[in-house]
Structure 1
Amino acid sequence: MTEKELVIKSDTEKEVVPLVAAIDVGTTSSRVILFNRLGQEISKHQIEYSTSASHSAYSASGERRLEENKTNGSSNEQTIFSAEGIAIEATEYLEIEDLEKDVEPTLRFPKPGWVECKPMNILENVVQCFAANLITMDRVNGDRVSNGLPPYRIKCIGIANMRETTLVWSKKTGKPLIDYGIVWNDVRTTEIVQKKKDETPEEYQEHLRELTGLPLFSTYFSCSKLRWLLDNIPEVTKAYEENDLVFGTVDTWLIANLTHNNVLVTDVTNACRTGFMNLNTKDYDDELLDYWNIDKAKIHLPKIVSSSEYYGNFVVPECTKKSLTSTAWDLLSAFSQRVPPVPIQGCLGDQSASLVGQLAFKPGSAKCTYGTGCFLLYNTGTTKLISKHGALTTFAYWFPQLENEENDYGKPHYALEGSVAVAGAVVQWLRDNLRLIPRAEDVGPLASAVPNSGGVVFVPAFSGLFAPYWDPDARATIMGMSQYTTASHIARAAVEGVCFQARAILKAMSSDAFGSEDKDFLEEVVDETYEKTLLSTLAVDGGMSRSDEVMQIQADILGPCVKVRRSPTSECTALGAAIAAAMAFKTDEERILWKNLKDVKKWVFYGGVEKGEKAPPSTTNDTDLKVFISKSSDKSRRKGWKMWETAIEKSKGWMNEIQLS
């Protein structure tokens, strides 16, 4: 297939190659990526956040940085480490927040267990990344036109974002009421959550779970974070009483600032994580708001909309001008005034975006993303399942413009989800705190230097246990050590700790999906129906998935019933946002890049050729595609699982026990 086949007539009747822009705001970085029809990255720019920890370390002394760079064989002083502990160096396409400037870092940790982000930094970083892509595209288009090739042109924009992170700002000014937001993995609301749980009868707890799909008594969700702000921050309380308070997650904040109409919206995949939305009505529920003592007459809540519809036209916010060069500002201003304007029309919470980017559209598809945390989603289609085994019920996506398509793709799709608070972050902990490895990439070889953990079990519950255990009082433990234990055993146990939690979540989901209370579907092939379901494959992406050694350990822990397939696309989350935006056009004629989800898979996975035909090598995205199959024996695998379950029980309730003593 040649690029000529991807060329279309633009609105000015000139030939162009259409692209979709994806804004992806994660816990530790922001990026903007331009995708073509093949799902290939045409341009990309990323800003990795500095943190209060890295800022303090830099301010105190440059010695540690120099020492780390020498260890890593790097001469570049602009090196920091990602949430997975991977060394990141500044390049033309990747910036690191400048630690030399006297500015607040985007992420800060003011107290143990507290995690905050700066909303203005996030907005400025997104705009800077967008500007960098426009600068790159302007340069590339100049070369393309001079060589007789049609230029690239952005058709629409989608957004993916970290969920549950809670921001508050003024309706009158549009500015944050406080200079920080509370990030999803912050645990400051533990007392609020525990008090609510103690005061709520079990029968009513189950009723609330039926409404939301969530175990509300966790610090994870937005509801307790908003309650904490109202109870503890005078500026927020004052705005609430004066009907000036706007609440939103990161998607709402970005869309409000980047659209011409400053529209206040959130999509279902984000709204369902607040604890305020009824899964059945797809709207805020008065009973839930009352439960958290929120008067909706005093607060401005974003309208809940689908994941794929027109929200507004892109504009560059005036408040970001000071952070941009004159060239960047001029390009963004011209882009904002383009005729016809470029719409923002796709929005997905990051894990739903990853599910879509993995092309896991069919019911029964499962995916696992290994990032700062570990997130596993199981697509249940249009069926809403309320888990009996500790998983969450969440929206996978909602693409209403596909209402007339086959397979119910236009209807809201649900998913079961399990979240592990600490995944790649445990690798960073091994590197920075224990100094067991010089680079995160070394954890796989170190863990694989031994055939097993030597009896060591590592429960990485640094901020409590998420699904399927839901114990905020649990804390990280390392058990089973002896004089035989080596650094390799500890590293392997740490990796296994993440993989065991993924197994626990998949076990819970399969039990919910197949309606069994007492069978472990990962150990027993009950019938041929199970063997033939798509649950037999777990699609994986994220930082840790790039390690062959780690993914083989995951496959060994899951056993022979589930094979692990690494995604061929490294940026699944951003690609999911791009797909959502492309699906928002109302007609096939307008949906130029992909007509429907089947067409997405045809182009992204198969290079545009029909099934059974062979695609030219240059058009396929299979460089990282790899399947891992279990090599573990039944005896060793089951023994390991028994050890894990025992360790989990011993790690539960730690904070509660010591507070009572």
Structure 2
Amino acid sequence: MAEPTDTAKTEQVLTEGNEAGVPRRDEERLKKWFIGSIDQGTTSTRFLIFDGTGTPIASHQLEFKQIYLHSGWIDHDPVEIVQTVETCIEEATKEFTKQGHSTSDIKAIGLSTQRETTVLWDIETGDLLHNAIAWPDTRTHAIVHELKNRKGADKLQDICGLPLSTYPSSVKLIWMLRNVDKVKKAYDEGRLAFGTIDTWLLFNLNGKERKLHVTDVTNASRTMFVNLHKLEYDSTVLDFFQLDPQKLKLPKIVPCSDPNAFGSMASGPLKGVKITGCLGDQSAALVGQLGFSPGMAKNTYGTGCFLLYNVGEKPVISHHGLLATVGYHFGGQRKPVYALEGSIAVAGSAVQFLRNNFKFIEASPDINDLAATVKDNGGCVFVTAFSGLFAPYWIDDAKGTIFGITQFTERGHIARATMEATCFQTKAILDAMEKDSGHKLAQLAVDGGMSNSDLCMQTQADLIGIPVDRPVMRETTSLGAAIAAGFAVDIWKEFDELKEINKEDRTIFKPQMTTGQSNGMYKRWERAVEMSKGWVDDSDDIPPSS
């Protein structure tokens, strides 16, 4: 009798002993199925291995260099990013095998990545043409100002869901075409390969000789080149940016979950293992929080802070400063699911700023204890506009500004104001989402580094006036990529099979502040935002002293 295929074995795992054939969890067996998950973020890379119950079994993490050449500029070295991925896979796999597991038990790999960050290379040689320009970079603010005055600018958001700002990949590409000779030459000769980090990693992990040039719908929707309604590149948008698709090599757009589209590992300890899931990190977190129904939302407090609200199978174009984006698309007969998104450029990176630049704390988690040394912010408000302000404000010319400093001010007040900045912006986003959707959120699921702070999450609940729901296992971005990969190889077939994942022992933070108190704090925040505008003007630049 022939040995069952992996798909048949998986189906047996889920349905055995169930006469009706209704999928159910068989935890003992699911614990023997494993999925790798690459989580490539803004400041660090991780590789986790999950079992079929969604439990992380092994992991490894590495930070990589942030390159600040000028004020507002943030570069990443794409080669270093590939190296961190390869090292994390190697180290986590060592840990996995030391536990007695075999690499042959890893059925697939998922990939989640920072979005918008833009990489350009020679499609023929695979040679990198410039450092990656990271998503929070603001060097393009003059280009954005110019583009906003170009005919057709007012129609772009209706097509692609994104407003013109320094945020999307499009303007980063334009900057490199204008300022990097190698990039312009490759474009003129039809050799310029464009990609976000997912595309670059897949190109390298598959081996450059395969020339795999692909992206998933969630990352593609962040470039500003894609028609959000059709999920394909839009000629009107490309014409607006004056880009010739015959000269610019754009990656093929595919669903987030696919058994073949993303190739397989060309080398390393997991050589030959297929990559079957790929999502932008915030979409991955929505999946990892099991936000599969319209009206569900999650907020990830990472380097930045990103709130995604599931709006169902049709995009909702925001009229209140939010983004329309693809939540996820698992392919097959399933339709794509869209989300409204509120993007905050600076969250955890403000904590890193206090650690690295001001030496207030030794490690980022210490921010909670420092903030707890005072009973409130002491009148301080910190508008953390290091990259301007994103949703729902879209103020490119704002700068980071601390208001209310007096002789009474201590480090604890600044620490508390730093955490509150993210909480205030989250409230602004939720208010905008209520206006766009017509519904008030009942509860907010949270994850990411800053969500570890009880003080920060209690402050968040107080300011938004609804409960905040925090899971014990907060690697939801990695879990989301693993789920997408698992669907492609039939470890799961229906979303209902996932409903118990990561649901135990969640912490609920309920509002404790009166509406009057929270409204008073928020009014002061709004005044500070208004006062932070207008700080970026190239004509005011003062040359450095000799």
Q: 2:26 — aligned with what?
A: none
Preserved CA contact (<8 Å) 1:247 1:301: yes
Preserved CA contact (<8 Å) 1:164 1:221: yes
1:636 aligns with 2:517: yes
Q: 1:7 to 1:46 in 2, by over 3 A?
A: farther
1:574 aligns with 2:505: no
CA deviations on 1:130-187 (whole Å, 9 max, x unpaired) are 222333333333xx6xxxxx98601111110000011111111122123x11111111
Q: 2:108 aligns with which of 141, 153, 156?
A: 156
Q: 2:82 — aligned with what?
A: 123
Q: 2:331 — aligned with what?
A: 400
**Alignment length, in residue pairs?**
516
Q: 1:438 to 1:34 in 2, by over 3 A?
A: closer
Q: 1:354 to 1:270 in 2, by over 3 A?
A: same
Q: 1:134 — aligned with what?
A: 93
Q: 2:312 — aligned with what?
A: 381
Q: 2:159 — aligned with what?
A: 211
Write the letter of the residue equivalent to 1:376.
Answer: L
1:165 aligns with 2:117: yes
Alignment of 1:231-310 (within 5 A): 231-259=178-206, 261-309=210-258, 310=260
Alignment of 1:351-362 (within 5 A): 351-362=282-293
Q: 1:57 — aligned with what?
A: none
CA deviations on 1:184-205 (whole Å, 9 max, x unpaired) are 11111111111111334xxx33
Q: Distance in 2 between matches of 1:302 and 1:43?
A: 32
Q: 2:129 aligns with which of 157, 171, 177?
A: 177
Q: Distance in 1 between matches of 2:463 and 2:186?
A: 51
Q: 1:384 to 1:484 in 2, by over 3 A?
A: same
Unaligned runs of 5+ in 2: 1-5, 12-28
Alignment of 1:431-580 (within 5 A): 431-514=355-438, 535-559=441-465, 562-580=466-484
Q: Distance in 1 between matches of 2:299 and 2:10?
A: 38
RMSD, aligned CA: 2.4
TM-fit CA distance, 1:660: 10
Q: Distance in 1 between matches of 2:96 and 2:360?
A: 42
TM-fit CA distance, 1:366: 1.0
Determine helix, strand or coil for the equivalent of 2:99.
Answer: helix
TM-fit CA distance, 1:510: 1.2
Determine helix, strand or coil for the equivalent of 1:257.
Answer: helix
1:226 aligns with 2:177: no
**TM-score between the two structures when normalised by the length of structure 2:** 0.90
Q: Distance in 1 between matches of 2:297 and 2:282?
A: 12
Q: Distance in 1 between matches of 2:423 and 2:218?
A: 25
Q: 1:110 — aligned with what?
A: 69
TM-fit CA distance, 1:425: 1.5
Preserved CA contact (<8 Å) 1:263 1:311: no
TM-fit CA distance, 1:29: 1.2
Q: 1:600 aligns with which of 498, 502, 516?
A: 498
Q: Find runs of 4+ consecutive structure 1 residues off by over 4 angstroms.
A: 6-11
Q: Distance in 2 between matches of 1:230 and 1:197?
A: 19
Q: 1:539 to 1:658 in 2, by over 3 A?
A: farther
Which deviates more, 446-455 or 300-309?
446-455
Preserved CA contact (<8 Å) 1:17 1:151: no
Preserved CA contact (<8 Å) 2:93 2:103: no
Q: 1:18 to 1:114 in 2, by over 3 A?
A: same
1:46 aligns with 2:40: no
Determine helix, strand or coil for the equivalent of 1:485.
Answer: coil
Write the letter of the residue equivalent to 1:154.
Answer: I
Unaligned runs of 5+ in 1: 1-5, 52-106, 145-149, 318-328, 337-341, 404-409, 515-529, 586-590, 607-620
Q: 2:297 aligns with which of 357, 363, 366?
A: 366
TM-fit CA distance, 1:302: 0.4
Determine helix, strand or coil for the equivalent of 1:598.
Answer: helix
Write the letter of the residue equivalent to 2:33.
Answer: P
Preserved CA contact (<8 Å) 1:259 1:311: no
Q: 1:198 aligns with which of 122, 132, 149?
A: 149
Determine helix, strand or coil for the equivalent of 2:32.
Answer: strand
Q: Distance in 2 between matches of 1:207 and 1:7?
A: 46
Q: 2:14 — aligned with what?
A: none
Determine helix, strand or coil for the equivalent of 1:199.
Answer: coil
TM-fit CA distance, 1:9: 5.1
Write the letter of the residue equivalent to 1:19.
Answer: F
Q: Distance in 2 between matches of 1:210 and 1:7?
A: 41
Determine helix, strand or coil for the equivalent of 1:595.
Answer: coil
